Every structure is written in C-alpha cells, then in structure tokens.
Amino acid sequence: MDSILGLIQQSFKTRYSQWVREALDELPDNFTITDPSISGHPIVFASRGFLKMSGYSLEEVIGQNGKIFQGPKTNRRTVMEISEAIRQERDVQVNLVNYRKDGTPFWMLFHMSPVFGKEDGRVIHFVAVQVPITRKPRRNGGVSLNEDGSGFNEIMFGSCRKEVDTNPVLELGRVLSLDSSTNVLDIEETCEASDFEKRMAANAFNSILSVLTNYSESTGRLVCGTRCSVPGVCYISSSLNISLGRIRQSFVLIDPHLPGMPIVYASDAFLKLTGYDRHEILGLNFAVLNGADTDSSTLHQIKESIQTEQACTVRILSYRKDKSSFWNCLHLSPVRNASGKVAYFVGVQIEEECKNKERHGLSPEMRQLSTVGAVKVAVRSLSMAAGSSKS
C-alpha cells in the first residue's frame, strides 16, 4: 500500500508545481482526479465538495477505486458506457445512481473528461465532475420541471461511479446539503439532468483544466484538454494501461515500430526494482539498464531475438538508477495484436537473488510465462475491441 501511495504522490509531483492541490481545493466544484497509469486506476485527488457530498474522508478515498461508490441500484449499462469512454479516451456525460458512505443512494450527472500530456499525447489523468440533479424525474412521458428551478418541490441527488469487470474507474460530485425536511424522490425513478446542469458540469471541468494547465507550465510538462499529434511518439491507451496495471510482475512493454524502440509501459514492480520513476523511464530504450560490465554477446542475443520476432531468455547484468548492479533473469517475447502482427515486445525481469529465494508457488520461469500470457491477452483483447467498434 505504501508503494501505491508513493506513486499517487508522484502522479501530481512530477507533472505540476507544488501548489496545485491548494489551487484545486479552492474550486467550489465536486470532482475527483484519477490516474490510469497506476495499478487500479486510483483516485489521486478528491475535492472538498466531493468528500462532503459522499461522506468519506480524504484518507478513505485516495487510492481507492469505484467499487466503494457503487450499489445495487447502480445501472450496469451506464457503467459500461463510462468504461467504453475510458477505452476510447473521450468525454462522457451520464445520469447515474451512486451511494454515500452511509449507504444512501442518490442521483448525479456524471461528467468525465481526459487530460492529455502535451509532449506525447498520453492520457495523464481523468477528471470526473458530479452535479446534483435538481429536477423531477420523467414519469411515463411526463413533463419535466423548468430549468430555472421554478416549481421545485422535490430534490434528488446523484453521483456516478464507474467500473467495468475489473476495470475500475472513479468519480466525484458537487456539494448540496440535504435538509431533514427535504422530500427525496424514489430512487427507482429515472432522473435526467437538464441542459443547464450539463453546462455546469462542462464549465466545472474547464475550470479544473485551467488550474492543471497553469500549474503544469512551471514544470515544463504541459497538459491540455485535447490530444496533440506528435510525430514519432507512441502512447498506449488508458484501457490497456489499466489492464496491464493488474499484473504484479516486473515487466516493460517496448514498441519496435518507433525509432529507438522505446519503453511505452513500465509496471510498478519494474519501477520498484530499478529505482526509476515512470516519467523517467517511458520513452527510453531498454538499454538504459545496461552498464559497463553488461555482456555484449548477451545484448547481441537480445537484438537477434527482436529481429527474428522470437522469444528468448537470458541472464544479464543490469543496472538500477543509482548505478547498483543486479543479475537480471530476463525473458523477452513478441506480443501480437488480433491480426497477428507484432505490436510490442514484453520484457519480464526477475532479480536472480530473489529468484533463488523463491521456494513456494510458481517457478520463476512459469511466472515469466504467465506474465507474458497476461500481457498478450490484454493487447489482443483491446485490439479486437477496437476492431469491432470500427466495423
């Protein structure tokens, strides 16, 4: 858990200046920010309004996924719609029932938008805003109340939470306190947000994006609300990021189609093993782990494996960020997409010292093959889903 909390801190520290959290806390909107590059796609920021609305403390929310906000009345189809938006890395607005910490359900307009890194087009964060739905539900084609609020005699809140199968995603909301005399509508009724409330959500996101953009300028790692096309730069989708984040083994994903064959994904376990931060390792060649005493014949074997698109297993002397060395039992394998073409190479590392201490469970070799299999399933599943959405 401590390693996850460290990654959560790095999520903001490496991208924005130190005052960004204070600036976000000054915004009146209810929202959370999540990081798809961290295992579990956790919440890395929750606004004060969201905490007040949901009844959770900051410590209870940070690092969690969407399960804690879902309940029996949460619509699975709407959750799937949110998950699809995450896979496609686009905006989404839906009405959904969420649950407070005390178990009470409520309606919310949920608005989620991605935030992109300007230098490489990668999704850095997802921002999820919630706006209370303050209008009567439609009943068998009945007329809705006016958007100006006239004639309101019932108030219904909502909040939205997203998770698909094991793809957790997280949301947030906007504060509105309930009086004990307030009549809460039947949660079974479908509530629809007004155009005014939809604009409120969009405006809230623009305010949040403005803060993030401003505080990313001083670090030189700018963020923006639309993806910039950067020639020669590859990023992997948030959906694949989330799927790969469930794999606990140390591994990297390499794109052989780009100049220099850069690392495009690094697991949390790899970062722990090598001492690098994620932003330091992405975009570099795997040779960053080589050093003065790394055997050249072993490097040639790896190069030959990539050229022939064949798997190989080697024992190689690798170096951490702090220049300390370790014997790396490396398994390298091509990863093909749904059409059978090599999309990536996956390199799975096991430190030899740790390998020799393993006495229970799968053998190191089986763990490496299991990791390769899990990566292949994630890549093929995503390419198949992308192909079916285009047909």
**Strand 312-319's sheet: what is its strand order?**
263-266, 251-254, 342-351, 325-336, 312-319
* Under 8 Å between Cβ of 250 and 269: yes
In the structure encoding, which two tokens stand for residue 211, read together? 């803060």
Give CA–CA dist 268/39, Å, rounded: 7
Domain boundaries, the chain: 2-224, 247-390
Burial 51-90 (b: 16+ CB within 10 A, else e): bebbebeeeebbbbbbebbbbeebeeebbebbbebbbbbe
pLDDT at position 233 over 70 = no
- pTM, two decimals, is 0.68
Structure confidence by residue, pLDDT tens digits, 336-387: 988 889 999 999 999 987 765 555 567 888 999 999 999 999 898 877 665 5
pLDDT at position 71 over 50 = yes
Give CA–CA dist 292/51, Å, rounded: 52
pLDDT at position 143 over 70 = no
pLDDT at position 56 over 70 = yes
Structure confidence by residue, pLDDT tens digits, 166-194: 343 333 333 333 333 333 445 667 788 88
In CATH, the architecture of 2-224 is 2-Layer Sandwich (3.30)
Q: Are both 2-224 and 247-390 of the same fold? A: yes
Between the CA of residue 342 and those of 120, 164, 206, 376, what are the distances in Å?
22, 27, 39, 11
Of 264, 263, 265, 267, the closest CA to residue 248 belongs to 267
Of 246, 235, 236, the closest CA to residue 268 belongs to 246
The CATH class, in words, for 247-390 is: alpha beta
Task: Give every CB contact of residue 379 below 8 A, 6+ residues apart in sequence.
Answer: 240, 335, 336, 337, 343, 344
pLDDT of residue 360: 54
pLDDT of residue 158: 38
165: left (phi over 0), alpha (psi -120 to 50) or beta: left
Structure confidence by residue, pLDDT tens digits, 7-54: 788 888 888 998 999 999 999 999 999 999 888 889 999 999 999 999
pLDDT of residue 192: 87
